[in-house]
Structures are given as structure tokens and as C-alpha cells.
């Protein structure tokens, strides 16, 4: 699927991919350093670098000073050689972007999600994709991979969507297959909160942390788990669907079956219900409620919700053992709530969890989609073509 010519001998394809990986992982890097890293001869390296420059994969970034006064040209991947498509789909809006090989966004669009769902959402994604191509002037053939976050579970084997309450008709579609056919390249779908966790791992408060959870709290509640550097999805793609935790409400109460016991206790609807039950002003949004700093009823609700969330985190910690909890979502991003959660955690566990708020805000899911698309593209780009035993031919080109 890459632009590396398939007309050249297989061993040259292998060495080209090996050099590309070395450039990606060590840029800016000189030809001499690439030869050392890969074990290729300087002559072979010069030929391969020249070919990769001619094909547009590499660009010169500067010069480095050698030990004896000589300087050497340094290289990096050409960021605009290829692009990826990232999308964060929510029940109310779609946020889509094209990004280059460094992950830099070159164009983005936001519009309301088509409430009719199903094929209409597919049509919408294709239309947004084409609008971005027109807006940025990028050729369609230059987009190599896409990733889409969706508020639902993705079965890791069948790749079918389940548990998508906010967008009708998506569970009836082979979503990845349909979009692959419409867009002309591979598309990966992922749970939207998992996408946000990936975004935190790439650019947010999860950087350089191997074990953390991202908790999105707003209309509903969900969690993305990063364990030993990897997203945990579970057998049916539903790992992190903590709305059904038997905390905050009776899990045997049929009124909680649709949303889940925990979500029934601390989702946006529940927060407003708690406030009005305490005599608070009816009809306020959750945002307005949190901003009523001198309202005793509002303070009591924040305290009640914080206790339930803290209890949930104790249960989560016993199973997952995260180093950090990163909060996001319209409710989870409220510092006054996270402050109270931390307070209650300090009262019920000997070593309280570290709690922080996402610095990425509503863009975490989009950044995660871009990161996953880039990861998959690079994996495809750098994979060795052909049979594994042909790697021996590559070894024969190395300097003895």
C-alpha cells in the first residue's frame, strides 16, 4: 500500500523499509549514522537514501558536525509524503481532520452528526473527507490510513459495533468494510473513550506513563484503560464500560438497565435530578449548576457525585492498578469536582490515586484517532514484504 516501488528487487524493498524505520526513530540522522544503525555498507546506504529522496520519502534537515571537522547532511521523513484521516464521532457532532506524518493537523472540520444514523453517517463521513481534501488541496491518493472513534464497543474479532445508544443504525453495518470501499484505504474504528485515552498517551497527561485510565464523565460515563502501554479492549471490546458498575444505584433495579447503575447515579441527568431534589433552581444545565459557587445545594451535589466517583475509582484501582486517573468530559473536566474526588480518595485508600484533568479537552478523541491511524500506517509502511525467510537476503547486503 506504500509508494515504495514494488518493481525493484525484494531485497531493495526490505532495505528501503529498514532505512525508513531508522530515519523515523532517529531523525535527524546522517547517512553514516544510518549505516551504523542498520549495518548496511556506506555505498548501499548512499544508493538507498538517494532513491528515497527521489521518491519523496526523505528530506534534508541540516548538517551535523563530524569529529574531525567534517559536516554531514542529516535527513528526516518528509511529513507531507502521506496523510492520515482522523474522526471523532459523537452523538451530537463529528470532528474530522487530515494530518501529516508528524501528526500535525493540516485541515479540520466540525459539523453536527446526522441524527438519522446508519448509512447517512457513512455518507457524512465521506462528504467531510472529500471536503477536507478540497480545503487542503491534498490529493486523495496521498491519504493512506484512517481511524474513527465511535461511542460504542468494537468487537475485536468481528469488528462489528455494539452498544451504540446515541447513533441509530451503526450496529447493522460492517462499518470498517463500508468505509474502506468508499474511501479507498483502510479504516480502523475504536471506542471513542479509548481514542481519547490514546490521545492522552500521545499528547496529554498520559505521556511516558505505562499504566493510566482516562475517565470521561458527562452525559454518560466511560473509561479508557492503558495498561503496560497498550489500550485494553477486552474479549468483546467492552473493557472500560464502567457505566454498569454496581455503584451509586441498585444494579437490580430495572430502571438502571438502560444507562447502568453508575451512570444512573452520576450522569448529567442524575446530577440535575440530585440538585432539584435538594431544592435547587429547576431547569439549570450542569454547567450552570457547577458555576453557582455560593449555592449550598450545588455544593452538596458536587460532594455527593465526588464520593460516588471516588468509590468507583477504588474498585477500578483494585483491578487495573493505574498510576494516574485522567478526567475528561464536560463534568469530568470541572476542577472543583476533581478536587473533591481527590479528597475522598485520600480518606478511603492508603495510597491515593493521582487525579488530573486532560489538557486536551474535547480534542483528545481526535488526537487519539490521528495517533492510531499513524501507528497503523507506520506499521504497514515498515513491515517486511514477502516471506520471513527472505530476510536472509537482506542480511547478505550488510557489511561483514
Give per-residue pLDDT as tens, 283-317: 999 999 999 999 999 999 999 999 999 999 999 99
What's the pLDDT score for residue 381?
Answer: 82
What's the pLDDT score for residue 386?
Answer: 52
Where are any strands of DSSP class E within 38-183? 58-65, 71-77, 83-89, 93-99, 105-112, 143-150, 153-154, 161-162
pLDDT for 5 beyond 90: no
Q: Which of 381, 292, 388 is nearest to 84 (CA)?
A: 381
What's the pLDDT score for residue 246?
Answer: 96
pLDDT tens string 185-244: 999 999 999 999 999 999 999 999 999 999 999 988 999 999 999 999 999 999 999 999
pLDDT tens string 312-370: 999 999 999 999 999 999 999 999 999 999 999 999 888 888 999 999 999 999 999 99
Lowest mean pLDDT among 1-5, 41-45, 68-72, 379-383: 1-5
Residue with cell 502501554: 229
More confident residue, 378 or 357: 357
What's the pLDDT score for residue 352?
Answer: 81
Report the half-sphere exposure of 237 (CA within 13 A, side-chain side): 21
What's the pLDDT score for residue 391?
Answer: 34
What's the pLDDT score for residue 328?
Answer: 97
- What domains can be seen in the chain, in order of their start residue? 10-77 (1.10.10.10), 83-197+364-379 (3.30.420.40), 205-358 (3.30.420.40)
What's the pLDDT score for residue 15?
Answer: 87
| Contacts for 163 with CB less than 8 Å, ≥ 6 apart | 152, 153, 238, 241
Mean pLDDT of the chain: 90
Amino acid at each position: 500500500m506504500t509508494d515504495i516501488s514494488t518493481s525493484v528487487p525484494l531485497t531493495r524493498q526490505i532495505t528501503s523499509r529498514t532505512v525508513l524505520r531508522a530515519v523515523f526513530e532517529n531523525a535527524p540522522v546522517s547517512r553514516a549514522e544510518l549505516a551504523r544503525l542498520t549495518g548496511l555498507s556506506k555505498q548501499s546506504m548512499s544508493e538507498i537514501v538517494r532513491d528515497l529522496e527521489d521518491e519523496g520519502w526523505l528530506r534534508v534537515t541540516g548538517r551535523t558536525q563530524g569529529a574531525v571537522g567534517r559536516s554531514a547532511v542529516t535527513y528526516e521523513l518528509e511529513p507531507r509524503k502521506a496523510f492520515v484521516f482522523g474522526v471523532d464521532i459523537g452523538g451530537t457532532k463529528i470532528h474530522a481532520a487530515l494530518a501529516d506524518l508528524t501528526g500535525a493537523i493540516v485541515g479540520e472540520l466540525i459539523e453536527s452528526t446526522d441524527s438519522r444514523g446508519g448509512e447517512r453517517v457513512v455518507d457524512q463521513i465521506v462528504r467531510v473527507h472529500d471536503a477536507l481534501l478540497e480545503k487542503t488541496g491534498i490529493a486523495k491518493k496521498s491519504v493512506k490510513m484512517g481511524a474513527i472513534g465511535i461511542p460504542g464497543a468494537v468487537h475485536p474479532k468481528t469488528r462489528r459495533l455494539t452498544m451504540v445508544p446515541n447513533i441509530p443504525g451503526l450496529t447493522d453495518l460492517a462499518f470498517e468494510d463500508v468505509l474502506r470501499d468508499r474511501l479507498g484505504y483502510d479504516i480502523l474504528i475504536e471506542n471513542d473513550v479509548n481514542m481519547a485515552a490514546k490521545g492522552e498517551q500521545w499528547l496529554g497527561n498520559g505521556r511516558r506513563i505505562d499504566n493510566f485510565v482516562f475517565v470521561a464523565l458527562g452525559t454518560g460515563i466511560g473509561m479508557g484503560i492503558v495498561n503496560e502501554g497498550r489500550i485494553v479492549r477486552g474479549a468483546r471490546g467492552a473493557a472500560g464500560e464502567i457505566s454498569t458498575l454496581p455503584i451509586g444505584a441498585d444494579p437490580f433495579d430495572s430502571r438502571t438497565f438502560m444507562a447502568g447503575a453508575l451512570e444512573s447515579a452520576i450522569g448529567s441527568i442524575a446530577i440535575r435530578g440530585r440538585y432539584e431534589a435538594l431544592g435547587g433552581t429547576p431547569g439549570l444545565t450542569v454547567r450552570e449548576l457547577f458555576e453557582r459557587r455560593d449555592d449550598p445545594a450545588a455544593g452538596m451535589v458536587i460532594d455527593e457525585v465526588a464520593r460516588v466517583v471516588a468509590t468507583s475509582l477504588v474498585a477500578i484501582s483494585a483491578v487495573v492498578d493505574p498510576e494516574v486517573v485522567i478526567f475528561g468530559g464536560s463534568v469530568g473536566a470541572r476542577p472543583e469536582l476533581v478536587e473533591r474526588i481527590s479528597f475522598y480518595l485520600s480518606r478511603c485508600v492508603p495510597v491515593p490515586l493521582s487525579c488530573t484533568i486532560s489538557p486536551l479537552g474535547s480534542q483528545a478523541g481526535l488526537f487519539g484517532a490521528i495517533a492510531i491511524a499513524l501507528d497503523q500506517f507506520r506499521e504497514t509502511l515498515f513491515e517486511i514484504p514477502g516471506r520471513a525467510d527472505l530476510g536472509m537476503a537482506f542480511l547478505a547486503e550488510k557489511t561483514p
